[in-house]
A and B are shown apart, each in its own frame.
Chain A
Amino acid sequence: MAKNPEQRDLFPGALELMILHSLRMKPMHGYALVKYIKQVSDDLLQVEEGSLYPALQRMLREGLLESKEGISAKGRPTRIYRLTRAGIQHLEKERSSFEKMFAGITRVLTVAKA
Chain B
Amino acid sequence: MKWLRQLFFLQRRYDDLSVSIQEHLEERADELMEDGMPREEAVHAARREFGNVALIEERSREEWVWPKVEAIRADLKYAMRQLIKHPGFAMTAIVTLTLGIGANVIVFSVLNAVILRPLNVSEPQSLYNIEHQKHSYYSQSYPDYLDYRDRNSTFSGMAAYDMASVAIRIGKTATKNFGYLASGNYFDTLGVQPALGRFFHANDEHGTGSAPYIVLSYDFWRAGFNSNPNILGTTIDLNKQPFTVIGVASKEFHGTETFFWPDFWIPITNGPLIGYSAHYLENRSTHNPWVLGRLKAGVTPQQASDDLNAISRQLAEQYPAADYGLDARLVKPGLMGDMFGDPIRGFLAGMMILAALVLLAACANLGGIFAARAADRSRELAIRLAIGSSRWSILRGLLTEAVLVSLAGGVAGTLFATALLQAFSKWQPFTGLPFHAIVLPDEKVYVVALLLSLGSGILFGMLPAREIQRSDAAQAMKSGIVPETIFGRFSLRDLLLCIQIALCTLLVTASLVALRGMERSLHAPLGFQPEGVMLAGTDLTMAGYREEQFLPVQKRMLEEAARIPGISAVGIIDRTILGEGCCGREGVFRAGTTDFRKEIFGAHNFSISPGYLEASGMRLLSGRKFSWHDDANSPPVVLVNATFARMMFGNTPPVGQHFLLYRGTRPKEVVGIVEDGKYQSLTEEAQPAMFFPLTQEVNANNTVLVVRTALPSVEIAAALDRTLTRIDPNLPLTLHSWPDALDLALFPARAATTALGIMGFLAAMLAITGMFGMASYSVSKRMKEFGIRVALGAQRVEVMLTALGRPLLLLLSGSMAGLVLGVLASRLLALIVYEATPRDPLVLGGVLLAMPLFGVLATWIPARHALKVDPARLLRDE
Contacts and interface: CB of A to CB of B under 8 A. Distances in A.
Interface of A: 1-2, 29-31, 34, 48-50, 53-54, 56-58, 60-61, 67, 72-74, 76-79
B51 interface: yes
A1 B49 contact: yes
B28 A50 contact: no
B115 to A, nearest CB: 55
B13 A78 contact: no
Contact of B60 (A29, A31, A53): A53
A49 B50 contact: yes
Given A31-B24, A58-B63, A53 B17 contact: yes
A76 B27 contact: yes
Contacts of B61: 57
A30 B49 contact: no
21 contacts: A2-B48, A2-B49, A30-B21, A31-B23, A34-B24, A49-B49, A50-B55, A50-B59, A53-B20, A54-B56, A54-B60, A57-B63, A58-B63, A61-B64, A72-B27, A73-B27, A74-B27, A77-B19, A78-B19, A79-B17, A79-B19
Interface residues of B, number: 26
Contacts of A53: 17, 20-21, 56-57, 59-60
Given A48-B51, A74-B27, 18 more contacts: A1-B48, A1-B49, A29-B23, A29-B24, A30-B20, A34-B24, A49-B51, A49-B56, A50-B51, A50-B56, A53-B21, A56-B20, A57-B17, A57-B64, A60-B13, A76-B23, A78-B24, A79-B17
Contacts of A48: 51
Nearest to B49: A2
Contacts of A54: 56, 59-60, 62-63
Interface string B46-81: 001111100111011111100000000000000000
B30 interface: yes
Given A1-B49, A49-B50, A49-B51, A79 B24 contact: no
Contacts of B51: 1, 48-50
A63 B254 CA distance: 63
A72 B21 CA distance: 12
A30 B24 contact: yes
A49 B57 CA distance: 10
Given A57-B61, A61-B63, A74-B26, A29 B20 contact: yes
Contact of A57 (B28, B55, B60): B60
B559 interface: no
A9 to B, nearest CB: 15
Contacts of B17: 53, 57, 79
Interface string B16-41: 11011101101110100000000000
Contacts of A60: 13, 63
B74 to A, nearest CB: 16
Contacts of A50: 51-52, 55-56, 59
Contacts of B55: 50
Interface of B: 13, 16-17, 19-21, 23-24, 26-28, 30, 48-52, 55-57, 59-64
A67 to B, nearest CB: 6
Nearest to B21: A53
Contacts of A29: 20, 23-24
Contacts of B64: 57, 61
A79 B27 CA distance: 13
Contact of A31 (B13, B16, B28, B48): B28
A31 B27 contact: yes
Contacts of A57: 13, 17, 60-61, 63-64
B365 to A, nearest CB: 45
A70 B836 CA distance: 80
A74 B31 CA distance: 10
> Does more than half of chain B's interface fall in helix, strand or loop, or is it mixed?
helix
A79 B56 contact: no
A46 to B, nearest CB: 10
Contacts of B56: 49-50, 53-54
A73 B63 CA distance: 28
A104 to B, nearest CB: 30
Contacts of A2: 48-49
Most buried by B among A31, A34, A56, A74: A31
A76 B19 CA distance: 10
A10 to B, nearest CB: 17
B224 to A, nearest CB: 68
Contact of B24 (A49, A58, A77): A49
A77 to B, nearest CB: 6
Most buried by B among A30, A67, A72: A30
Contacts of B52: 50
Contacts of B24: 29-31, 34, 49, 78
A79 B60 CA distance: 15
A53 B18 CA distance: 10
Nearest first, the 6 A-B pairs at minimum CB distance are A57-B63, A78-B23, A31-B24, A53-B60, A57-B60, A31-B27
Nearest to A77: B19
A63 to B, nearest CB: 13
A54 B17 CA distance: 10
B450 to A, nearest CB: 35
B761 to A, nearest CB: 55
B725 to A, nearest CB: 84
B368 to A, nearest CB: 43
Nearest to B30: A74
Contacts of B13: 57, 60
A50 B30 CA distance: 21
A56 B63 CA distance: 9
B26 to A, nearest CB: 6
A53 to B, nearest CB: 4
Contacts of A78: 19-20, 23-24
B50 A72 contact: no
A79 B14 CA distance: 12
Contacts of B49: 1-2, 49
B23 A77 contact: yes
A29 B24 CA distance: 8
A76 B62 contact: no
B54 to A, nearest CB: 12
Contacts of A76: 23, 26-27
Contacts of B62: 54
A66 to B, nearest CB: 11
A75 B731 CA distance: 98
Contacts of B57: 53
Contacts of B21: 30, 53
B63 to A, nearest CB: 4
A50 B62 CA distance: 13
A24 B759 CA distance: 73
Contacts of A74: 26-27, 30
Nearest to B45: A2
A90 to B, nearest CB: 16
A13 B57 CA distance: 21
A60 B21 CA distance: 16
Contacts of A1: 48-49, 51
A34 B16 CA distance: 18
